[in-house]
Structure 1
């Protein structure tokens, strides 16, 4: 006499393996996306701080009430618990009463070849 197994409505091994493969691919994509999001958020935060530093430096020159001498200056600043470096290049314009400021800001570990922010500002000769 042949015995029949009772009908068991479970999953087969193949179905379980396919489900695990789909889950692994999905989780891998989610982990990669979240890592990319974190990297972009850090970059945007650093770029925002660098922009603020450059704007602060431009305002310092505009409020100094003196005509900035031609040339290049560099300095360091601690901002948002990080060390930053700035460089200001002062050059002439077509108007002799106006100077152009090129302000570059980087993290202290970076190089000025690729600044996070480059800002151009103008300073007029005080009256």
Structure 2
């Protein structure tokens, strides 16, 4: 008996309670790590999509500035420390007006098979 008259019971957590708390913490931390990894992957994808859209827009402007109207053109650009392959194809039946040419521009990250961005651009035939 203690000075208060009650049987002595030690204050604190039992080993089982600590193990359960650690197991719950480990499960929660694994979930947080998964969420962080998914967010990082999504950020990478969105960053590449934004850069690819800028590459496509740059080539749409270049098509408008060029005096030539190629059926197909392609090439490589470097932007944001990455290499981008772009290709522009003219659609023959893309417009109803013969004074306007329709181009489809697609941009690929080096090593990828699917385009990150696609853009349709209309160019005046006389420019």
Q: TM-score, normalised by structure 1?
A: 0.87
Q: How many residues align?
A: 120
Name the structure 2 match of 1:19.
Answer: 21
Q: Could you tell me how far apart the structure 1 residues matched to 2:43 and 2:124 are? A: 37
1:42-96 Cα shifts (integer Å, max 9, x gaps): 10000000000000000111122x2513x22211111111110001001232211
Residues 7-36 of structure 1: per-residue CA shift (max 9 Å, x gap): 201111111111011100010000000001
Check if 1:68 corresponds to 2:69. yes
Give the Cα separation in 1 of the matches to 2:103 and 2:96.
Answer: 14
Q: Tell me the secondary structure at the aligned position of residue 74 of structure 2.
A: strand
Q: Runs of 5+ in structure 1 lacking a partner? A: none
Q: CA RMSD in A?
A: 1.7
**Cα distance in 2 for residues equivalent to 1:7 and 1:99:** 87
Residue matched to 2:32: 30
Unaligned runs of 5+ in 2: 1-6
CA distance in 2: counterparts of 1:15 and 1:108, whole angstroms: 53
In 1, the alpha carbon distance for the partners of 2:120 and 2:36 equals: 35
SS of structure 2 residue aligned to 1:77: strand
Q: What is the correspondence of 1:86-125 to structure 2 with a 5 Å cutoff?
A: 86-92=86-92, 93-111=95-113, 114-125=114-125
For residues 77 and 67 of structure 1, the distance between their equivalents in structure 2, rounded to whole angstroms, comes to 20
| Aligned equivalent of 2:79 | 79
Instruction: Provide the TM-score with structure 2 as the length reference.
Output: 0.87
